[in-house]
Amino acid sequence: MPYILVRGNLAAYGQRYPWRVLVSGLKAADIEQLNRFASGGYCDDCTIVYMQHPCVILTALEVLGYKVVASSSTSVKQDYNEYMWTMRKEFSEPEPIVSPTNPDAHIRDNKISAGEEVAVFGLSDDEMKALVKKFSDYRKEVINGVLLKAPPIAVVNALGQLGYRVVATTGEAEVIWTMQRDL
């Protein structure tokens, strides 16, 4: 998985545990490298919590070869303190499916919904077929896209395997990634 998501607060929440950084999508070897940092454990199957300032974790991840490719505020209106960074590390990847018609894909992660539903828009038919094969548990067609039940980082990485790269993120309650691939 070449992409990871890092979410954390830049200003202290309180005295006892002022910083909390959630990192989703790390490989086991990278988690082991980060063992020296205080951890609050796992909050789901692919997310580990670090009790450090985000700059400390971001710097450590850059030492491990990850680079920030996009960032955005993920705060809700009462707290403009939380941010999200999408990071990428180069790994050998399978060849992308070539589709000359559409180089852009958009992913919407609905953080408000009870389940993890991720909508993907703008893929060619061949790319859509390749993507839904990876997430066959749940899918629902929507206009110009598909709704998948999967962690957002898994969908971002699946699109990375199809040759897409994150170029931007935006959003608060819903986070949107814009991904692009070369034609």
pLDDT at 107: 59
- pLDDT level of residue 122 (50, 70, 90 thresholds): confident
Q: What angle do CA 17, 20, 24 make, to 5 degrees?
A: 155
| Backbone φ and ψ of 23, nearest 5° | -120, 120
**Dihedral (Cα; 70, 72, 74, 77), 10-degree rounding:** -170
CATH class given for the domain over 104-180: alpha beta
How many CB atoms sit inside 10 A of residue 65's CB?
Answer: 12
Whether the per-residue pLDDT at 12 is higher than 70: the answer is: yes
Which architecture, in CATH terms, is 3-88? 2-Layer Sandwich (3.30)
Judged by DSSP in three states, 67 sits in strand
Sequential DSSP letters for 103-140: -EEEEEEETTSSS-EEEEES--HHHHHHHHHHTTTSEE
91-121: pLDDT as tens digits: 665 444 444 445 555 555 543 333 477 888 8
pLDDT at 2: 80
Q: How far apart are CA 45 and CA 162, in angstroms?
A: 24
User: Which tokens go with 167?
Assistant: 């170029």
pLDDT at 80: 56
pLDDT at 23: 93
| Backbone φ and ψ of 147, nearest 5° | -110, 120
Could you tell me how many helices (H) and strands (E) the chain has, helices first? 4, 12
Judged by DSSP in three states, 79 sits in coil
Where does the chain hold its CATH 3.30.1410.10 domain(s)? 3-88, 104-180
136-150: average pLDDT:
77
- pLDDT level of residue 61 (50, 70, 90 thresholds): very high
23-46: pLDDT as tens digits: 998 888 888 888 888 888 777 778
Residue 27 amino acid letter: K
